[in-house]
Structure 1
Amino acid sequence: MPDEVASSTSTEGAFLLDAEAVAAQLGVDPATGLSDAEAAGRLAADGPNELRGTPPVPTWRKILAQFQDPLIYLLLAAVAISLLAWAVEGAHGAPVDSIVIAAIIVLNAIIGYTQEAKAADAVAALGAMTAASSTVLRGGELKTVPSSELVRGDILVLTEGDAVGADARLLTATGLRIQEASLTGESASVTKNAATLPEPAPLGDRANMVFKGTSVAQGVGRAVVTATGMATEMGAIAEMLDATVEEPTPLQNEIKRISKALGIIVVIVALVVMITFILVQGVTSPADLVVVLLLGVSLAVAAVPEGLPTILSVILAIGVQRMAKRNAVVKKLSSVEALGSASVICTDKTGTLTRNEMTIERIVTASGQADVTGVGYRPIGEVVGRDGELAGAQRFEAQLVLGAGTLANDAQLTERDGEWQIQGDPTEAAFLVAARKLEGITGQIARFRRRGEIPFTSERKMMSTLDQDSADGTLVLFSKGAPDVLLERCTRLQVGEGTVPLTAALRQQAQAEVEALSAQAFRTLGVAYRVVDAAERSVDPADELDPALEQELVYAGVVGIIDPPRGEAAAAIAEAHRAGIRVIMITGDHPVTAVRIAADLGIVGSSARAVTGAELDTLDAAQLRAVTRDVSVYARVSPEHKLRLVDALQADGQIVSMTGDGVNDAPALKSADIGVAMGITGTEVTKEAARMILADDNFATIVAAVRQGRVIFDNIKKFLRYLLSSNVGEVLTVFLGVLFAGLIGLSDASGEGLVLPLLATQILWINLITDSTPALAMGIDPEVDDVMARRPRGLTDRAIDARMWGGILSIGLVMALAALFSIDMFLPGGLVEGHDTLEVARTVGFTTLVFAQLFNALNARSETSSAFRKMFSNTWLWGSILLGILLQIAVVQVPFLQVAFGTAPLDLAHWGACIALGSVVLWYDEIRKLILRALARRRGAAPVAPVAPPSPTF
């Protein structure tokens, strides 16, 4: 076989060639298959039949990635400045400031790496499964080989339940139906045949091809492998996935902006204060220069929230753990918040919003319509008439329809460990489930023994079985198939226990009933039968049935089958809508079916329309964006269409989440702001592309994750509000203390030269100890307000908006004024005459600032709600406040800590003043929030926004 000829044969062109021609080009005899030696040679040349995986990231790179953040760069700069100041000062003792900041950086890296490693382990465990195998013909013998060892030219032998290991051109097919939902999104199995197609056809219409990643629902067949590995249709999607750029999450963008802004602010503030210090107090000696450098270091430490990276990692890690308990595995910490910011959830239909379990919901017979309750393969439910009880003629007819459909059937329904499972075509299995819901029918079905079969083919669109009633030996031919095909072969109609001639009017009425079911998005299957005279047919199972038996049938009725929505999906969608989140269905299914399911779930109204992939192909980028603003159902779409839709929504300013389980969903999942894969039914390609995996495949888990994401983002805002306002308070205390040193008595407090309102070690103490524990407690604050009653934040919305900045700056100013006033109270001179030493007055200012920040922890839990609302719901916060008080008492009253931090012991009067002045922050913020609530009420904020032979008896 010429290799160059073989390599040119691909899935793209094989369906346009005769099967024999494809086999000839691939150099294989379909009767014997490849030899083992030839197969080994091709495997060595082409490589294993596997998709190219993402190379594993070395551990050292994962660790290094934890330090690649602008805020970490600022902290590293603070370490360097601290070391420089320590060296200039004489390098006495250990560089405590540098060591503490470096420890914070390392701790942050450890937390981030550990949590992401845990998530990776969870994903690996979720994806662990037995390696697939395939049956092939090699050297004239049937062999089972790992699917990874399939090569071009292999003859695949396909039987019911097999996974298709590679793309292949069918050589033969008998009743072959393939489940292609994972590749095309089509929920129903697809009929296959070996006939050559006359012209190019889209993937879902290539009836003479089978594809890697799909499965055999029914029938048997043989096929010659035309493509393996990355050359398959699944490989093409994987290639598209590699070319898809993964966008940073909104939180990553926001933290990057904040870090950049803080870096600029740190440099400007430090320079301004140092220059002001020199101009106001002067530098006359090297010792004064050291003081100025220390001042710069202390301001850098005060302006940069050192605890932010660590606290952020801890909060996200806690969110990951909470989500994991709700069956949502998050692969990256930064993705936790992104889902909470989603304004649009794009979701696949089959297996995501629906159960992927074909279910009979409607039975239409001559006596009327009957409804079948219950969904899925668990046979729990009943068959009821439109007026309630199913009785008389209608009951007999319904029993006949379900009984005949169950006998003309090759599917199996079994229970294993409490779970009901099917083998075979899901549409056929629907009859087995429905029959168990109608009392008395199962025992009647058991009387019949199969004596022969006329299999289903795509040309005939029907199948029949010949069954013998063991009670009286009667032979009955049971048929099911496309209603229009069956009606052409029927001459009588079942009415109650008897039959009547199928007149033109009755035939027209039956066709109208079928059309009515189709209009309601039901897949329809007709059922018919005839009693066979023994003379017409031998009961020898070895004899083949003559298709001529499928004439003069009695039409029993038609069933409406649908892949039902998940019961919890409608409630989850309603909750998403309440949160201002739009839900969009994107599916490969039929438009009528898609709209029906979307309407049942409340995504759209019953009069909505679906836009098809063919229509999307006619739209340019601007037109597509306009369509996505109005249309929420898309049907018959390809992987490229899904990716275009996600990109169009993002271009329109939406934060997009994409959910799915099939290979065809993977590129869109990767491109979306956060991709969510199904853990049970999802393919490995999809799980690799997603940022979050649902272990239970439950759409409701997505909404629970949205709530958790919003709570996390609220908590991030809380500790940002707290940390930044506290840091502003520290900076302003030093800046205003230097600027107005003479006014508050600091200039005359010591004859030793330059004087600072706070020492560098005191600022470090406040910033790293007193700040961090309340901020961490705020990060796990329970949900105070209903986070799902607000609209999602926009793409351009900032975590810290103008109003929040106003609060941060004003609260920081109040803190600084309270601290400086407390210093002035106890220093001689200044605005208020005092009588204490500089060390005592500075300790009072230091302690007042600490208490102000602890009171501010209560303020920071909400931008507008009173601190007294649900005040005691967070015990961890109160624990952190108590810890802060105890630590501050220790640093003031314990002798060796007094030496380390330059403090002096205080008496009760001093402590009382510290508490009273520190509480001013709480009362100020209560007044500010009261004004904000009054303004909001005045504006009236809008709330956020469905005589014949006897009939067989069953």
Structure 2
Amino acid sequence: MATIQGTASTLELPDVVAQLGTDPERGLGAAEAARRLAAEGANELQVAPPVPTWRKILAQFQDPLIYLLLVAVVIATLAWVVEGAQGLPTDSIVITLIVIANAILGYSQEARAEQAVAALQRMTESSATVVRDGETQVVPAAEIVRGDVLLLAEGDSVGADGRVVEANALRVAEASLTGESTAVAKSPGVLAGGEALGDRTNMVFRGTAITQGTARVMVTGTAMDTEMGAIATMLEQTQREPTPLEREIALIGKMLGGIVIVIAVVVMATVWVISDVDTLDDAVTVLLLGVSLAVAAVPEGLPAILSVVLSIGVQRMAQRNAIVKNLSSVETLGSASVICSDKTGTLTNNEMTLQVVLTASGEAAVTGVGYAPKGQVIAVSVPQRAEDIVVLSGGSLASNSELRQTDGEWQILGDPTEAAFLVAERKMGLTERRTARFSRVGEAPFTSERKRMSTVHLDHEHDDQPVLISKGAPDVLLQRCTSIRVGLETRPLDDASRSDILTGVEGLSGRAMRTMGVAYRPLTVEQVGAEVIASGRVPAELAEELEDELTYVGTVGMIDPPRESAAEAVRQAQRAGIRVIMITGDHPATALRIAQDLGIAAPGEAALTGPELDTMDEAGWAAAAAEVNVFARVAPEHKLRIVDALQDTGQIVAMTGDGVNDAPALKSADIGVAMGITGTEVTKEAGSMILADDNFATIVAAVRQGRVIFDNIKKFLRYLLSSNMGEVLTVFLGVVLAGVIGLTAASQDAIVLPLLATQILWINLVTDSTPALALGVDPETDDVMARRPRVVGERVIDARMWGGIVAVGAVMAAATLLTIDIFLPGGLIEGSDSLEVARTAGFTTLVLAQLYNVFNSRSQTTSAFRKLLSNRWLLAAVAFGVASQVAVVHVPFLQEAFGTQPLDLGHWLVCAAMASTVLWFDEGLKFVERRLDTRRGVSSAR
């Protein structure tokens, strides 16, 4: 099928239909859509081809520290050749195997992180509403094909380029494509040709957003055969900017690299000066020591571990229905100090149930809850029933929602408020008569500025007389009403009746109900105009004219009960030092009642409305943002200003939204939270997080998880750096104090080291990988919601943490060297073992000390014995480390490779006991930390 993308705007609609081989009413058949999808490919923009596996593996070797190891392999091999190439080049083989093992580990970690991100991308794929086989369907946007008929409404993101077939007050924001700041009106028609992209008013384009109205569009181009695809082909691929956390990790890595290189040079120089280095073998030993020390002291796997930890954390959030689109957002989540939440569907169930119909003849109760039409409308008089019929049928007519029963379950498609009318109407048994009697011929859509919507219908029971039905905020509708329906008659709307209606509205709002008014106006064909009847679109100017001299019928009261989990979630947020603010377009009394029930607002606290905000200056806005917890009857621009005012005071703001007009506030907020169920595609694109269940408790759970993830990052950093510090100090102090602990007297060699180069590399391999990764997925050790939000810019490793790292590293080194001294003759403590056995014991003590240190590192203040067995991955990693050390000490070929000797039970007990001093020392530090925190009056949970 030849593309018509370039000429679609200049062809008559029948020609477009013919070339696309489709039906503008019934759309494509399912089989034909599947065939076209297979032939033309998915509706996705091309991305850079994936990096081949061999390049990813090769990238694992492109690291300065790996270069050092490879230099060490060359040095060791040359020394082996010079010395006669006797036996196997053990050092070279061991170092090479360690390099390969590191590469495999790094590749597997990166692959896992990529898989996690890919899984999240699949979860956030957009969808589109299409007509196929005459039925409305929701399909993934990637499955749109040319010839599909798209149904677009306010808030939708356009998934493909297309020709407008029908439009009703359609306006499209095309800034992402054309740079045009104002929305463009769209309508069917034929253009002459040669128009600029922004002037093609009969076309819609992929990546733009519907800001108003509805439309039926025929898809003319998908994937790269769209205007957005044409731009994509011209764009150069840009590199992703590192997050603040990634930048700090990189800074730490560089800083450690510089420090360690200096230490390695100092150690080599010290060994060279205090030892008699006069052979090539001695020189190689010194060089290997320096290289291996530099490699061991820097956690080169840290970036990969960080990516894996963030990815796993984000997956855990997704399992709790919080889909975080960017890993960097996890950092901000842990810092949130204010959550600005909508009411409907977030703090409540979003199952609007119409419970009261209030008319001139009195109040009628509607029984039943939810979307299942089980219940009845209890009217006390015949006039009241007549009024109720007009209210419920009128509210159902002025609606774009659908109520369906699928597999025995009642479901809605569209706005829950509109669906409540449909459910109540069905309870009265009016649906079939209403659909047979009226045919819609026009619509003036609801907008947040108008606060009402109107539809024009032909009444087939009255000679196809047009009638306008309006549904919206009662106070807004009343301003346009001049009469009121009483029974089967209409009467003038006097001041007393108007006051009674408003009093009734206040009463319903005081009962935490959302109110909606219904009014109507009989029209003539001349008033509506044949063009409107033919096109189905009511121009804005005509709508303003027709929505006048209305007859008010009645008010309905709906309840959307608070979610059972919302009150507890609010308490958890407040306990964590997070302020919760409700921002809603609902009536102030309704908003305040729900807010008080949930603990967001205190008894006696007032709500602030949008009109009141409009009268304030900058100082008033600042005061309102600092003090008010409930904002009602607000417009989208108010939400944006509230977010900005909070941010001006240094708050980190999470903001929820679902409508297209919420997108600016979501983008401005530090954490934009889009609703996954009721949210528009535009909102989902603007947000950094999507709630799959539209539940406020999910936001709080995500904040908790964000704090846990940040804590876990600190845990594995504390562990890696303190353990590596222990290795550096062991070698450095072992060389300096070789004579004191008996190393010098135990050997005739010119150079006697506390640990061999291969042993240092082994420690780095065994203790830097799986335990650190297991710490990265550690469950919550401390009560993270018992502390104030983390201040943005707070260093991951502060002075307090650095002090602990150095102290624990020093204890590790002291325990290791003292163990060597215990088993060596001479020194501080008299022993009787050989140098090889003593060195093996020291080597083992350092490994075990680092495995003890895993449990230390789970908290800076909480005892290691608290929730000791809660992390099965950590227990498995420690068990693996112990088993690996047993193997390297007792398996013959590993003994030869790593210069170890077998240890008996007594040796092992001494090693375990000496290594445990790290645990007891850190327990003492934590005890002191807790006492100091108690005196300072701060939480000890860290």
Instruction: Summarize the Cα distance change of 1:706–1:288 in structure 2 as closer, same or farther, 3 Å threshold.
Output: same
Compare 91-100 and 158-167 and name the one that shifted more.
158-167
- What amino acid does structure 2 have at the position aligned with 1:887? S
**Residue 116 (structure 1) aligned with residue 108 (structure 2):** no
Matched-pair contact (CA < 8 Å) for 2:343–2:583: yes
Within the candidate set 300, 305, 308, 2:299 is matched to 305
Instruction: Summarize the Cα distance change of 1:566–1:456 in structure 2 as closer, same or farther, 3 Å threshold.
Output: farther
Matched-pair contact (CA < 8 Å) for 2:731–2:755: yes
Compare 730-739 and 853-862 and name the one that shifted more.
853-862
Computed over aligned residues only, the root mean square deviation of the Cα atoms, in angstroms, reads 6.2
For 2:889, the equivalent position in structure 1 comes to: 892
Matched-pair contact (CA < 8 Å) for 2:575–2:785: yes
For 1:636, the equivalent position in structure 2 comes to: 635
Report deviation, 1:736: 0.8
Instruction: Summarize the Cα distance change of 1:728–1:558 in structure 2 as closer, same or farther, 3 Å threshold.
Output: same
Q: Can you list the C-alpha shifts for 1:290-319, whole angstroms capped at 9, x where unaligned?
A: 222122123113311245345444434443
For 2:861, the equivalent position in structure 1 comes to: 864
- Distance in 2, Cα, partners of 1:181 & 1:383: 43
Q: Can you list the C-alpha shifts for 1:247-298, whole angstroms capped at 9, x where unaligned?
A: 6444323322322222122112212222232333353343332222122123
For 1:417, the equivalent position in structure 2 comes to: 407
Compare 289-298 and 90-99 and name the one that shifted more.
90-99
DSSP-derived class of the 2:554 partner: strand
Compare 893-902 and 448-457 and name the one that shifted more.
448-457
- Distance in 2, Cα, partners of 1:74 & 1:610: 60
DSSP-derived class of the 1:413 partner: strand
**Residue 291 (structure 1) aligned with residue 285 (structure 2):** yes
Report deviation, 1:796: 1.8
Instruction: Summarize the Cα distance change of 1:217–1:937 in structure 2 as closer, same or farther, 3 Å threshold.
Output: closer
- Any gaps of 5 or more consecutive residues in structure 2? 1-5, 23-40, 82-88, 134-142, 177-182, 189-200, 446-452, 523-545
Equivalent runs, 1:713-862 vs 2, <5 Å: 713-862=710-859
For 2:49, the equivalent position in structure 1 comes to: 58
**Residue 76 (structure 1) aligned with residue 76 (structure 2):** no
- Distance in 1, Cα, partners of 2:583 & 2:252: 36
**Residue 938 (structure 1) aligned with residue 935 (structure 2):** yes
Matched-pair contact (CA < 8 Å) for 2:391–2:518: no
Matched residue count: 842
Report deviation, 1:761: 1.4
- Distance in 2, Cα, partners of 1:846 & 1:529: 91
- What amino acid does structure 1 have at the position aligned with 2:333? L
Equivalent runs, 1:472-621 vs 2, <5 Å: 494=486, 504-511=495-502, 513=504, 522=514, 524-526=516-518, 556-560=553-557, 571-582=568-579, 599=595, 607-609=606-608
- Distance in 1, Cα, partners of 2:396 & 2:880: 74
Instruction: Summarize the Cα distance change of 1:304–1:450 in structure 2 as closer, same or farther, 3 Å threshold.
Output: closer
Report deviation, 1:843: 1.8
**Residue 912 (structure 1) aligned with residue 903 (structure 2):** no
Matched-pair contact (CA < 8 Å) for 1:407–1:478: no
Report deviation, 1:787: 2.1
Instruction: Summarize the Cα distance change of 1:331–1:782 in structure 2 as closer, same or farther, 3 Å threshold.
Output: same
Instruction: Summarize the Cα distance change of 1:296–1:847 in structure 2 as closer, same or farther, 3 Å threshold.
Output: same
DSSP-derived class of the 1:906 partner: coil
Q: Can you list the C-alpha shifts for 1:569-613, whole angstroms capped at 9, x where unaligned?
A: 5654554343334556788x6896997699477666763446799
DSSP-derived class of the 1:799 partner: coil
Report deviation, 1:857: 2.5
For 1:143, the equivalent position in structure 2 comes to: none
Matched-pair contact (CA < 8 Å) for 2:163–2:202: yes
> How high is the TM-score relative to the length of structure 1?
0.70
DSSP-derived class of the 2:822 partner: helix
**Residue 365 (structure 1) aligned with residue 359 (structure 2):** yes
Instruction: Summarize the Cα distance change of 1:295–1:79 in structure 2 as closer, same or farther, 3 Å threshold.
Output: closer
Report deviation, 1:862: 1.9
Report deviation, 1:744: 1.4
For 1:325, the equivalent position in structure 2 comes to: 319
Q: Can you list the C-alpha shifts for 1:111-151, whole angstroms capped at 9, x where unaligned?
A: 3234324532553476375785799xxxxxxxxxx998799
Equivalent runs, 1:331-346 vs 2, <5 Å: 339-344=333-338
For 1:432, the equivalent position in structure 2 comes to: 422
Matched-pair contact (CA < 8 Å) for 1:493–1:556: yes
Q: Can you list the C-alpha shifts for 1:765-813, whole angstroms capped at 9, x where unaligned?
A: 2221145443333333332332222223222222222222222211111
For 1:16, the equivalent position in structure 2 comes to: none
DSSP-derived class of the 1:59 partner: coil
Report deviation, 1:762: 1.4
- What amino acid does structure 1 have at the position aligned with 2:80? G
Instruction: Summarize the Cα distance change of 1:826–1:237 in structure 2 as closer, same or farther, 3 Å threshold.
Output: same
For 1:97, the equivalent position in structure 2 comes to: 95
Within the candidate set 273, 287, 299, 1:279 is matched to 273
Instruction: Summarize the Cα distance change of 1:508–1:705 in structure 2 as closer, same or farther, 3 Å threshold.
Output: closer
Compare 499-508 and 812-821 and name the one that shifted more.
499-508
Equivalent runs, 1:687-706 vs 2, <5 Å: 693-706=690-703
DSSP-derived class of the 2:745 partner: coil
Matched-pair contact (CA < 8 Å) for 1:315–1:779: yes
DSSP-derived class of the 2:816 partner: helix
Within the candidate set 234, 252, 268, 1:258 is matched to 252
DSSP-derived class of the 1:748 partner: helix
Instruction: Summarize the Cα distance change of 1:103–1:447 in structure 2 as closer, same or farther, 3 Å threshold.
Output: closer
Q: Can you list the C-alpha shifts for 1:408-461, whole angstroms capped at 9, x where unaligned?
A: 667652212355345688765432223456xxx33x776789656797765996
Matched-pair contact (CA < 8 Å) for 1:218–1:424: no
Compare 795-804 and 686-695 and name the one that shifted more.
686-695
Identity of counterpart residues, as a percentage?
50
Matched-pair contact (CA < 8 Å) for 2:840–2:889: yes
- Any gaps of 5 or more consecutive residues in structure 1? 1-6, 8-22, 41-49, 136-145, 185-189, 196-207, 385-389, 470-474, 531-548, 945-954
Instruction: Summarize the Cα distance change of 1:840–1:227 in structure 2 as closer, same or farther, 3 Å threshold.
Output: closer
Within the candidate set 689, 709, 714, 1:712 is matched to 709
Report deviation, 1:911: 2.6
- What amino acid does structure 2 have at the position aligned with 1:259? G
Matched-pair contact (CA < 8 Å) for 2:162–2:218: yes
- What amino acid does structure 1 have at the position aligned with 2:708? V
Matched-pair contact (CA < 8 Å) for 1:82–1:95: no
Report deviation, 1:340: 3.8
DSSP-derived class of the 1:899 partner: helix
Report deviation, 1:662: 6.0
- Distance in 1, Cα, partners of 2:338 & 2:609: 17
Report deviation, 1:920: 1.6
- Distance in 1, Cα, partners of 2:212 & 2:408: 23
Report deviation, 1:933: 1.4
Report deviation, 1:820: 1.1
- What amino acid does structure 2 have at the position aligned with 1:60? V
Matched-pair contact (CA < 8 Å) for 1:403–1:445: no
- Distance in 2, Cα, partners of 1:869 & 1:710: 19
- What amino acid does structure 1 have at the position aligned with 2:285? V
Instruction: Summarize the Cα distance change of 1:35–1:223 in structure 2 as closer, same or farther, 3 Å threshold.
Output: closer
DSSP-derived class of the 1:793 partner: coil
Report deviation, 1:160: 13
Q: Can you list the C-alpha shifts for 1:465-493, whole angstroms capped at 9, x where unaligned?
A: 86979xxxxx9999765768689877676
Matched-pair contact (CA < 8 Å) for 1:168–1:224: yes
DSSP-derived class of the 2:775 partner: helix
DSSP-derived class of the 2:879 partner: helix
Compare 420-429 and 700-709 and name the one that shifted more.
420-429
